[in-house]
Structure 1
Amino acid sequence: MLQATDEAPEVTAADHDGETVTLSFAEPTVLYFYPRDDTPGCTVEAEGFDAELAAYRDAGVAVYGVSTDDVESHAAFRAKYDLDIDLLADPDGEVATAFGVAVEGGTADRVTYVLADGEVKRVYRGVDPDGHARDVLQDLVDDGVVAGE
């Protein structure tokens, strides 16, 4: 698993609309891995990031959720919960592997990365989905990755 100060890998994946997205992480980005669409913990986490999305965008931080679900599953998940958060499909686990995130039984572990300037700034393991998005945003301010209000 990548650690703070490691170089961030460039990754490419399809988003919830089937559009190809390539991320190099030069700009501040939160990349959160989660096991499955439309499961209780994953829904809480996605809704949390979605609720904080305007604050992340105001701070100049991109947010992407990544799971091994396919594009169609992501689109249905976003529609069901009226989410605006960007979701990346990683059905072969290539993005997870690039970050050293374990994929067991076809699902990725719940891990969040904060990336900027092409490197890993912070790693969250064993994430409690409830309140996680708010905590990460506060840590971005506390760590000086983004300016506070």
Structure 2
Amino acid sequence: MADLKVGDLAPRFDLPRDGGGSLSLAALLGKPVVLYFYPQDDTTGCTTEAISFSQLKPEFEKSGAVVIGLSPDSVKKHDKFKSKYDLTVDLVADEERKAIEAYHLWVEKTMYGRKYMGVERATFLIGRDGRIAGIWRQVRVKGHAEAVLEAARALLTPASAAPGH
């Protein structure tokens, strides 16, 4: 299966979310969405990334963007994670890895010479039209949320509102 590209329709999902209920991509059509995938709650890189996105959430909201973190952790784990670090971003639980696999992010990884399957840290910026406007794969956490914020702001510029887009 080919990787997703900028311009492709973002795969839809409807998943359980922190605090109860569910969150669907279809319900957010008309708003830019920052969808960041991460391997696991309460690990060093994932915590740093979640805190960075939470700190910048007001800036994302100014640009009209919604920020969603997605991992294979349960809603219960997400609730504990949010509470422990005062996270403000929405977290969705993909325990069956349906969205993770739809975005081609269930990949073979290597740590200390051992191969295993896991979630590739990646972020997708989805435009108001439901199409992918930006992709960051194999993310390095430091400075990442700021880079995504700049791209989200760029979605609001007149250039992105050209005829036919």
Superposition TM-score, scaled by structure 2 size: 0.83
Q: Does 2:142 correspond to 1:121?
A: no
Give the superposition deviation at 1:73: 0.4
Give the superposition deviation at 1:6: 0.6
- Deviates further, 54-63 or 13-22: 13-22
- Is this contact kept in 1: 2:60–2:149, CA < 8 A? yes
Superposition TM-score, scaled by structure 1 size: 0.91
Give the superposition deviation at 1:111: 0.6
**Matched residue, 2:72:** 68
**Matched residue, 1:84:** 88
**Matched residue, 1:146:** 156
Point out 4+ residue stretches in structure 1 off by more than 6 angstroms: none
Q: Does 2:163 correspond to 1:134?
A: no
Quick one: distance in 2 between partners of 1:5 and 1:147? 17
Give the superposition deviation at 1:67: 0.3
Describe the superposition over 1:89-116 as per-residue Cα deviations: whole angstroms up to 9, x where unpaired.
Answer: 0011011112121255564110100001
Give the superposition deviation at 1:125: 0.7
Indicate which of 14, 17, 20 corresponds to 2:19.
17
Give the superposition deviation at 1:147: 4.5
Taking a change above 3 Å as real, the CA distance of residues 78 and 19 of structure 1, as seen in their structure-2 partners, is same
Quick one: distance in 2 between partners of 1:49 and 1:32? 9
Quick one: distance in 2 between partners of 1:58 and 1:49? 14
Q: Does 2:114 correspond to 1:112?
A: no
**Matched residue, 2:45:** 41
- Is this contact kept in 1: 2:15–2:23, CA < 8 A? yes
**Structure 1: gaps of 5 or more residues:** none
- Is this contact kept in 2: 1:37–1:73, CA < 8 A? yes
Quick one: distance in 2 between partners of 1:138 and 1:123? 13
CA RMSD of aligned residues (A): 1.7
Total equivalences in the alignment: 146
Give the superposition deviation at 1:140: 2.3
**Matched residue, 1:5:** 7
Quick one: distance in 1 between partners of 2:106 and 2:63? 30
Describe the superposition over 1:100-144 as per-residue Cα deviations: whole angstroms up to 9, x where unpaired.
Answer: 212555641101000011111111011111221111111223xx3
Describe the superposition over 1:31-61 as per-residue Cα deviations: whole angstroms up to 9, x where unpaired.
Answer: 0000000000000100000000000011100
- Is this contact kept in 2: 1:17–1:75, CA < 8 A? yes
- Is this contact kept in 2: 1:59–1:147, CA < 8 A? no
